[in-house]
Amino acid sequence: MQSTTIISKKTIKDNLMQFFNQKWDNFGDRQKKYAKKLWSIISYKWRWQIAMNIPYLMIFILDKTVPQVHEFDMAVLATITSRLPIPTIVSAWFGLG
């Protein structure tokens, strides 16, 4: 008895899929064509957005998981500034001057 009630219950996802499938079936051929074209444009832009943000996502994940990311050696900056002539304003911004 309990198994029949679990099977008969529909999830929200199932209800949404049924709703959108009914709406899609009610569309005409021209509306379906425009809807597919619009979805292809939106999904293309989403794919590019995700691809462009992957490096930032990796930095964010490393920032949260690897504490060595925050350990920055100021000696590296000191050797770079001693070899390269950096203006005093810029070196003051970095706290080197």
pLDDT of 76 above 80: no
3-state SS, 10-74, equals CCHHHHHHHHHHHHHHHCCHHHHHHHHHHHHHHHHHHHHHHHHHHHHHHHHHHHHHCHHHHCCCH
- pLDDT category of residue 10 using cuts at 50, 70 and 90: confident
pLDDT of 65 above 80: no
What is the pTM (predicted TM-score) of this model? 0.40
Tokens of 71: 């350990």
Tokens of 96: 């080197």
Nearest-CA neighbor of 88 among 96, 77, 76? 96
User: What are the residues whose beta carbons fall under 8 Å from the beta carbon of 69, sequence distance 6 or more?
Assistant: 62, 63
Average pLDDT, the chain: 77
Q: How do residues 32-41 score in pLDDT, each as one tens digit? A: 999 899 888 8
Q: pLDDT at position 71, please? A: 65
**Domain residue extents for the chain:** 66-97
